[in-house]
């Protein structure tokens, strides 16, 4: 084989030397085809080359890798083709994982006993090609790919080969399908990264054999067949397998011969993990402590929703998306499919592929109810998901989707429900008709009669009511005006109610449309009709809603002519006793004016245009009058009423009308147009805010116009009229018309030149409702809306201004008209600093600690007690924070602050903070040893204010024990004090009170600590190492008269020492270890003292010897009774080692099969004859290796077998092991009534990684009964 390989390499090298070399250019695309011709540079798709060697010879010699594109078809390269150029061999299926490929591909036929490709250069890649044996119909000994240099293989198929890939160097693969007749892949190289790969070797072989020199990583891959899935040899580097699938059909899913394997988060074919029932297996000696499998992937399932009604659907999701520790994890190994089944309903498909850890199926439930037991099965694992199928709620709908129909008609309705149940149809909440029964197919039908308006359809089953659509009953619209028999004018308005949005149509008695409209949202309508002829008419009104026309509503009316109209004077006008009346009527008709007594007071005839004018002939009395104007029009006598007030002082003429003829909002100085009606040719006198503003002359029709200049603010315009030749006097004044001149707003705050902060409030007055804008240059600082009544406004600027002088502009805008700006000069200054300390609750220690915030880097001045001179200055940090200590006399003080930023000084000072300054803390030092005996003197000293009273506090823990005082020297302030040390820790601090009265300082810092050893030592006593169980006396010595307290075996004990210091305690000793510890308490030199605890001492209680030994003790060498034979343990079989490939073997080392762990022979584990002492049984064992040993014992007493006791131990190494077995409480009690009893012992040894071996023995133990 080696000779053939060398021959192949030599031949390939010779061919490479003979072929033409490509020019040293950049990366190129080359093309290869089974029908190509070896000429040219292979760089055109239309003229591909025809052989691997030739195209390789054209590959660029530059560092960039060329790409050789293989067209679909069958290729037969030279035996064991050696690829040495940096090339990516790209087939038609490039980029498509092998498991999902379709269509034709590039098939590389490998000769029997040879290799498809041998990689002998770095950075060679394969993508989207298929390697198969040349004789595809029969198995042969060919290899697909043998890599001697780093190689990348993607999206490729290796089929019907002896071995797909032999990786002798670093390799990266993804998207492969390896279907081989021997082992699918060998790895002996430096590193391997494998993903999305399916390993499908023949039954007796392995998916991947690893014996490499570097790390191996396998992710998202499937091991589907063979005897071994993944096999790794002892001594290899770490193999990491994550997110992979091991088929339970593989005899050895993962076989570890002893190398480190991280196999966490993989799927083993079931939730129990490897070696569980129906699971993939984990075998080999390395599985004991070199393979990590937890956590593993587990299959779960869920349904959404958890409960459905009959006849609906639910989605079941089988998820392999978390591990056994509950952490989320998603994988996508190829080929996995989940099967779905159910006991109720049907799935749309019986299985679904697992994609990114999940597979879904849709269940359609039948019309029956119950609980569907749905299952999802993946490999050997089946998980169950219950789904509650409840009775389907009823539904209702109008047949044909009808949304509206004529009121009173019958409407077919139908729906669904639970078969065999009765449902009740309702309209607007009321039952209609009798209940109907749902058919076996789950449907029902009925009919309802529509009422006017909304018909809300419902169907009820028991207490459940299901809402359906609302069908509108379209009804004849009720009419409110005119009423039957009414007289109406020729263009009347028809009013009524209907369905909101409905179209109203009005026709006359001949069916001619005379008006239309729409019902308003509130349900009312008003339709103005076309002119009608005088006389009787019948109006027909319908409404159409959603395409449905209602029945008609009719009303009979009589059309009469329009009565005369009075234009002057206006109703309620004040007139002279004799006055003029003007108006319009039908042409050429006679008009008569009657007073309240029907006395004619004026008459006239209308002109051809219908205009008329008359003057009362007789004066009316003063006061109100209602006059009647009669018009004789054909057969009709038409009437109009006029109400006036006769006032001798009233103007002769009525006021003219006046209105603005243009916008009402203008700039000051603009002219506005005025227009109105007056008497023909009358002189109209204008007034502006009460002052004369010119006049105008009405034309022959009475129309007049004029223009007036406005000012800022409100402009009120009125008018009167005069008529030449009439009675003297001016007419009444018209109602005012108003125009607004948008001028400059006023500013009331702040004042010009005021100091403000970066943001501040501006207030003033403007036109009511105007929008006021405050700006600095082009920047808008604030906007506000002036009060609608008073015009007052205020706003706070939103954009901070820089410190310094600023000129602001304030403008107003109303109805789209902007006035001139007002100007405001302000100076922006920094805000006062914020003081955070003192906070009012703090005490100063001879000084004041001041802290706060200001602008970054600002100069801060601090003031004491309202003084005008800075007590101290400081500078704020980059974050604005500052802190300083102020010297101050004792007493209560206030602190304020200001800041200066650049040249800008803040305005008012900060809020004052108060603080009480106490005397300074005195100093305190220790002048004696830090560790003394209790009662020894402690000498401390320090300095305070001259003559101050100094208090020294001695404390233990948190409670003050004693306070000692002294007085500081009147000149130097020095002081000292001697005090007695208390036991253990003495914590000392000092305060001072100057003058012996007034404020007392805070405690000195730091505290002085002196440790004093107690005056009492622990009591003395000695326990023996062992003692016979039962009564026992502990003796010892202590201080005469001391109280000795402590515990023995956890129980509290106490006694008193005698005058010589001797003491004793009576205790009860039990079997086993017991501990004792004691301390003593006594008064020493007048001080109550307690010693520390003594050292803990241990005593072991042992039973008293048996005074009457059993003559049948099996330890007697003369005992003739035979012992029970030891049953042989099962002999485990060895696992089948991995097969060794037969020739032709791959180049390089051929991996040996794994060495199985030998079974533990029964002869290697021995149990000596047990020995007995009383009721305790001692066992001596010889163990061949590490493992675990367990002993259980039973005893037969009075015809019953009860548990005697048990013991267990872990064994780290081979060798001798001793165990002692003692009876439990129940066995002890039973033994008291017998002289002796037989005990059966069962000893189980389980070696690490092996199967258990069992041995038995029998012994006789003594009872409690005596002869």
Please report the DSSP string for 672-740 in residue order.
Answer: EEEEEE-STTPEEEEEETTEEEEEEE--TTSEEEEEEE--SEEEEEEEEEE-TTSSSSPPPPPPPEEEE
pLDDT score for 1012: 85
Tokens of 460: 């009820």
**What's the DSSP call for residue 172?**
E
Does residue 425 contact residue 448 with C-beta atoms inside 8 Å? Answer: yes
Mean pLDDT of 679-704: 87
Task: Indicate whether 409 pLDDT > 90.
Answer: yes
* Final residue in a domain of this structure, among 741, 767, 790: 741
Per-residue pLDDT tens digits for 58-78: 886 556 778 999 999 998 866
Task: Indicate whether 738 pLDDT > 70.
Answer: yes
Tokens of 423: 């449902």
Residue whose C-alpha is closest to residue 990's, from 969, 1011, 1008: 1008
pLDDT score for 568: 74
Q: Say if residue 948 is in the same domain as residue 968.
A: yes
pLDDT score for 1149: 35
Domain count for the chain: 10
**What's the DSSP call for residue 1154?**
P
**Residue 993 to residues 844, 886, 952, 963: CA-CA distances in angstroms?**
15, 21, 12, 14
Tell me the three state secondary structure of residue 2.
helix
- Measured CA to CA, the distance from residue 1210 to residue 279 in angstroms comes to 29
Contacts of 286 (CB under 8 A, 6+ apart): 232, 234, 256, 257, 258, 259, 260, 261
> Residue 140 — very low, low, confident or very high, per pLDDT cuts 50/70/90?
low
What is the DSSP secondary-structure string of 1008-1043? Answer: EEEEEE-SSPPPEE---SEEESEEEEEEEE-STTPE
Helix (H), strand (E) at residue 666: strand 665-666
pLDDT score for 1084: 79
Task: Indicate whether 870 pLDDT > 80.
Answer: yes
Q: For the domain that residue 493 is a member of, what is the CATH number?
A: 2.60.40.1220
Residue whose C-alpha is closest to residue 425's, from 391, 393, 467: 467
Mean pLDDT of 1214-1224: 85
Domain range for 466 is 397-473
Q: How do strand 891-901 and strand 859-864 relate by DSSP bridges?
A: antiparallel
Task: Indicate whether 492 pLDDT > 90.
Answer: yes
Q: Say if residue 1185 is in the same domain as residue 1235.
A: yes
Q: Say if residue 902 is in the same domain as residue 947.
A: no
Tokens of 874: 């400081």
pLDDT score for 520: 96
* Final residue in a domain of this structure, among 741, 764, 795: 741
Q: Say if residue 668 is in the same domain as residue 638.
A: no
Which residue matches tokens 């165990």?
Answer: 1219
- Measured CA to CA, the distance from residue 1179 to residue 1257 in angstroms comes to 10
Tokens of 1199: 């015809």
Q: Say if residue 469 is in the same domain as residue 499.
A: no
pLDDT score for 842: 66
> Residue 1199 — very low, low, confident or very high, per pLDDT cuts 50/70/90?
low
Q: Is residue 144 part of a domain?
A: no
Tokens of 454: 């909304």
> Residue 697 — very low, low, confident or very high, per pLDDT cuts 50/70/90?
confident
**What's the DSSP call for residue 263?**
-
Q: Say if residue 1247 is in the same domain as residue 1185.
A: yes
pLDDT score for 1133: 37
CA angle 1242, 1244, 1249 (to 5 degrees): 170
Q: Say if residue 688 is in the same domain as residue 702.
A: yes
Task: Indicate whether 1108 pLDDT > 50.
Answer: no
Tell me the three state secondary structure of residue 995.
helix
Tokens of 353: 């592929």
Q: Say if residue 905 is in the same domain as residue 851.
A: yes
- Measured CA to CA, the distance from residue 382 to residue 248 in angstroms comes to 14
Q: Say if residue 412 is in the same domain as residue 465.
A: yes
Q: For the domain that residue 458 is a member of, what is the CATH number?
A: 2.60.40.10
Q: For the domain that residue 1065 is a member of, what is the CATH number?
A: 2.60.40
Task: Indicate whether 412 pLDDT > 90.
Answer: yes
Residue whose C-alpha is closest to residue 206's, from 1154, 1248, 843, 1117: 1154
The more confidently predicted of residues 1070 and 695 is 1070
**Residue 1135 to residues 281, 282, 1156: CA-CA distances in angstroms?**
12, 12, 6
Does residue 744 contact residue 813 with C-beta atoms inside 8 Å? Answer: no
Mean pLDDT of 944-970: 82
pLDDT score for 451: 96
pLDDT score for 137: 52
Q: Is residue 108 part of a domain?
A: no
Mean pLDDT of 897-915: 86
Per-residue pLDDT tens digits for 428-480: 999 999 999 999 999 999 999 999 999 999 999 998 999 999 999 999 999 99
* Final residue in a domain of this structure, among 1085, 1102, 1119: 1102
- Measured CA to CA, the distance from residue 622 to residue 823 in angstroms comes to 60
Does residue 767 contact residue 713 with C-beta atoms inside 8 Å? Answer: yes
Q: How many helices (H) and strands (E) does the chain have?
A: 3, 114
Q: For the domain that residue 993 is a member of, what is the CATH number?
A: 2.60.40.2470
Q: pTM higher than 0.75 for the full model? A: no
The more confidently predicted of residues 1032 and 1185 is 1032
Q: Is residue 131 part of a domain?
A: no
Tokens of 347: 């799935």
Of 292-306, 536-550, 829-843, where does mean pLDDT reach its minimum? 829-843
- Measured CA to CA, the distance from residue 925 to residue 1010 in angstroms comes to 11
Residue whose C-alpha is closest to residue 322's, from 361, 373, 356, 280: 356
What is the average pLDDT value for the chain, to the nearest integer? Answer: 85
pLDDT score for 1169: 84
Q: Is residue 123 part of a domain?
A: no
pLDDT score for 990: 93
Does residue 1019 contact residue 1094 with C-beta atoms inside 8 Å? Answer: yes
Task: Indicate whether 555 pLDDT > 60.
Answer: yes
pLDDT score for 1134: 36
The more confidently predicted of residues 652 and 697 is 697
Q: Say if residue 326 is in the same domain as residue 403.
A: no
**Residue 788 to residues 433, 744, 749, 1145: CA-CA distances in angstroms?**
62, 17, 20, 102
The more confidently predicted of residues 918 and 64 is 918
> Residue 152 — very low, low, confident or very high, per pLDDT cuts 50/70/90?
very high
Q: Is residue 155 part of a domain?
A: no
pLDDT score for 1106: 55
Q: Is residue 222 part of a domain?
A: no
**What's the DSSP call for residue 224?**
-
Q: Say if residue 876 is in the same domain as residue 902.
A: yes
pLDDT score for 1139: 34
Q: Is residue 146 part of a domain?
A: no
Task: Indicate whether 726 pLDDT > 70.
Answer: no
Task: Indicate whether 1069 pLDDT > 80.
Answer: yes
Of 246-255, 334-343, 669-678, 1128-1137, where does mean pLDDT reach its minimum? 1128-1137
What is the DSSP secondary-structure string of 764-826? Answer: EE-STTPEEEEEETTEEEEEEE--TTT-EEEEE-SSPPPSEEEEEEEEEEETTEE-PPEEEEE
Tokens of 279: 């699971």
Task: Indicate whether 1124 pLDDT > 50.
Answer: no
Q: Say if residue 313 is in the same domain as residue 367.
A: yes
Of 15-29, 767-781, 942-956, where does mean pLDDT reach its minimum? 15-29
As a whole-number percent, the residues of the chain with pLDDT over 70 amount to: 90
Q: Is residue 130 part of a domain?
A: no
Q: Beta-carbon neighbour count of residue 1114 at 10 Å?
A: 18
- Measured CA to CA, the distance from residue 886 to residue 877 in angstroms comes to 18
């Amino acid at each position: 084989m080696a000779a053939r390989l060398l021959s192949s390499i030599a031949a390939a090298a010779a061919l490479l030397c003979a072929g033409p070399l490509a020019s040293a250019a950049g990366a190129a695309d080359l093309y290869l085809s089974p029908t190509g011709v070896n000429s040219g540079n292979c760089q055109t798709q239309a003229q591909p080359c025809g052989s691997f060697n030739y195209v390789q010879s054209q590959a660029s010699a530059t560092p960039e890798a060329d790409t050789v594109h293989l067209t679909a078809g069958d290729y037969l390269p030279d035996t064991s083709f050696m690829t040495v150029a940096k090339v990516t061999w790209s087939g038609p299926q490039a980029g498509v994982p092998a498991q999902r490929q379709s269509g034709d591909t590039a098939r590389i036929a490998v000769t029997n006993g040879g290799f498809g490709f041998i990689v002998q250069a770095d950075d060679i890649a394969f993508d989207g090609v298929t390697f198969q044996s040349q004789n595809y119909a029969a198995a042969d000994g060919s290899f697909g790919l043998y890599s001697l240099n780093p190689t990348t293989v993607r999206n490729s198929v290796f089929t019907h080969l002896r071995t797909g890939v032999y990786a002798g160097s670093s390799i990266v693969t993804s998207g492969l399908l390896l279907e081989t007749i021997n082992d699918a892949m060998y790895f002996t190289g430096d590193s391997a990264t494998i993903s999305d790969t399916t390993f499908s070797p023949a039954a007796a072989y392995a998916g991947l054999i690893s014996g490499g020199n570097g790390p191996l990583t396998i992710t998202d891959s499937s091991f589907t067949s063979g005897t071994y899935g993944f096999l790794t040899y002892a001594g290899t580097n770490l193999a990491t397998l994550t997110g992979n699938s091991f088929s339970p059909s593989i005899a050895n899913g993962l076989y570890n011969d002893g190398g480190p394997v991280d196999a966490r988060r993989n799927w083993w074919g079931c939730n129990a993990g490897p070696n569980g029932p129906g699971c993939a297996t984990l075998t080999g000696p390395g599985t004991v402590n070199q393979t990590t499998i937890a956590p593993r992937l587990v299959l779960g399932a869920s349904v959404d929703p958890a409960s459905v009604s009959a006849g609906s659907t639910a989605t079941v999701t089988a998820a392999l998306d978390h591990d056994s520790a509950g952490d989320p994890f998603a994988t996508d190994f190829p080929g996995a499919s989940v099967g779905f089944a159910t006991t109720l309903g049907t799935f749309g498909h019986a299985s679904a592929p697992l994609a990114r850890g999940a597979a879904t199926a849709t269940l359609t439930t039948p019309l029956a109810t119950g609980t569907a037991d749905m299952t999802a099965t993946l490999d050997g694992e089946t998980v169950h998901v219950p789904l509650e199928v409840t009775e389907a709620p009823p539904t209702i709908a109008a047949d044909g989707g009808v949304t509206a129909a004529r009121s009173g008609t019958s409407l077919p309705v139908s729906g669904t429900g639970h078969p065999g149940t009765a449902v009740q149809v309702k309209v607007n909440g009321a039952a209609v008709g009798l209940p109907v029964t749902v058919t076996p197919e789950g449907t029902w039908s009925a009919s309802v009669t529509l009422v006017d308006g909304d018909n809300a359809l419902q169907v009820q089953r028991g207490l459940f009511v299901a809402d359906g659509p609302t069908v509108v009953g379209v009804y004849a619209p009720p009419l409110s005006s005119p009423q039957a028999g009414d007289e109406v004018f020729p263009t009347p308005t028809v009013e009524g109610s209907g369905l909101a949005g409905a179209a109203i149509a009005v026709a006359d008695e001949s069916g001619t449309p005379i008006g239309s409209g729409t019902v308003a949202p509130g349900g009312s309508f008003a339709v103005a009709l076309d002119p009608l002829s005088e006389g009787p008419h019948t109006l027909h009104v319908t409404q159409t809603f959603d395409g449905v026309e209602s029945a008609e509503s009719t009303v009979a009316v009589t059309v009469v002519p329009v009565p005369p109209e009075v234009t002057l004077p206006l109703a309620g006008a004040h007139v002279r006793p004799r006055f003029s009346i003007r108006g319009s009527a039908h042409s050429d008709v006679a008009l008569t004016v009657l007073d309240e007594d029907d006395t004619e007071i004026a008459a006239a005839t209308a002109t051809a245009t219908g205009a008329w004018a008359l003057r009362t002939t007789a004066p009316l009395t003063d006061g109100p009058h209602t006059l009647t104007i009669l018009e004789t029009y054909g057969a009709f006598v038409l009437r109009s009423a006029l109400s006036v007030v006769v006032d001798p002082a009233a103007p002769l003429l009525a006021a003219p009308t006046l209105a603005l003829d243009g916008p009402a909002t203008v700039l000051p100085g603009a002219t506005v147009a005025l227009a109105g009606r007056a008497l023909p040719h009358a002189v109209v006198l204008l007034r502006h805010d009460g002052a004369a503003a010119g006049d105008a002359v009405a034309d022959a029709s009475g129309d007049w116009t004029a223009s007036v200049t406005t000012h800022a603010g409100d402009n009120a315009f009125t008018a009167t009229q005069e008529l030449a030749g009439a009675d003297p006097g001016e007419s009444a004044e018209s109602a005012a018309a108003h125009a607004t001149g948008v001028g400059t707003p006023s500013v009331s705050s702040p004042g010009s030149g005021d100091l403000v902060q970066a943001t501040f409030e501006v207030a003033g007055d403007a036109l009511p409702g105007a929008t006021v804008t405050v700006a600095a240059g082009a920047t808008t600082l604030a906007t506000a809306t002036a009060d609608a009544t008073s015009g007052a406004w205020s706003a706070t600027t939103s954009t901070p201004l820089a410190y310094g002088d600023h000129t602001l502009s304030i403008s107003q805008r109303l109805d789209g008209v902007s006035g001139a700006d007002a100007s405001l000069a302000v100076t922006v200054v920094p805000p006062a600093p914020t003081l955070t300390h003192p906070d009012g609750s703090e005490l100063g220690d001879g000084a004041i600690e001041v802290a706060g915030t200001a602008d970054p880097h600002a100069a801060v001045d601090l003031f004491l007690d309202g003084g005008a001179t800075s007590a101290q200055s400081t500078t704020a940090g980059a974050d604005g924070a500052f802190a300083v200590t102020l010297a101050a006399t004792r007493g209560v003080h206030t602190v304020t602050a200001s800041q200066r930023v650049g040249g800008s000084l803040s305005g008012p000072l900060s809020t004052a903070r108060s603080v009480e300054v106490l005397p300074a803390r005195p100093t305190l030092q220790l002048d004696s040893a830090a560790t003394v005996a209790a009662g020894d003197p402690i000498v401390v000293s320090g300095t305070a204010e001259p003559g101050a009273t100094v208090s020294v506090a001695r404390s233990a823990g948190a409670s003050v024990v004693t306070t000692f005082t002294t007085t500081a020297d009147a000149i130097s302030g020095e002081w000292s004090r001697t005090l007695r040390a208390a036991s253990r820790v003495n914590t000392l601090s000092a305060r001072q009170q100057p003058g012996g009265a007034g404020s007392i300082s805070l405690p000195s810092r730091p505290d002085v600590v002196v440790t004093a050893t107690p005056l009492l030592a622990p009591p003395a006593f000695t326990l023996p190492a062992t003692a016979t169980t039962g009564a026992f006396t502990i003796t010892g010595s202590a201080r005469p008269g001391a109280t000795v307290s402590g515990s023995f075996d956890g129980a509290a004990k106490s006694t008193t020492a005698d005058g010589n210091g001797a003491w004793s305690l009576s205790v009860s000793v039990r079997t086993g270890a017991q501990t004792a510890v004691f301390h003593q308490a006594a008064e020493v030199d007048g001080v109550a003292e307690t010693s520390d605890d003594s050292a803990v001492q241990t005593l072991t209680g042992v039973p008293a010897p048996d005074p009457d030994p059993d003559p049948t003790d099996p330890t007697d060498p003369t005992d003739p009774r035979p012992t029970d034979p030891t049953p042989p343990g099962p002999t485990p079989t060895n696992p089948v080692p991995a097969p060794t490939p037969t020739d032709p073997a791959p180049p390089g080392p051929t991996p040996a099969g794994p060495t199985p762990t030998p079974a533990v022979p029964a002869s290697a584990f021995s149990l000596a004859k047990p020995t007995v002492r009383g009721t305790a049984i001692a066992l001596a064992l010889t163990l061949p290796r590490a493992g675990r040993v367990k002993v259980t014992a039973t005893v037969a007493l009075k015809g019953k077998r009860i548990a005697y006791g048990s013991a267990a131990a872990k064994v780290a190494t081979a060798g001798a092991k001793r165990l002692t077995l003692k009876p439990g409480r129940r066995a002890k009690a039973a033994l008291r009534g017998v002289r002796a009893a037989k005990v059966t012992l069962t000893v189980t040894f389980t070696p690490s990684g092996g199967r258990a071996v069992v041995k038995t023995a029998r012994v006789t133990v003594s009872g409690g009964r005596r002869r």
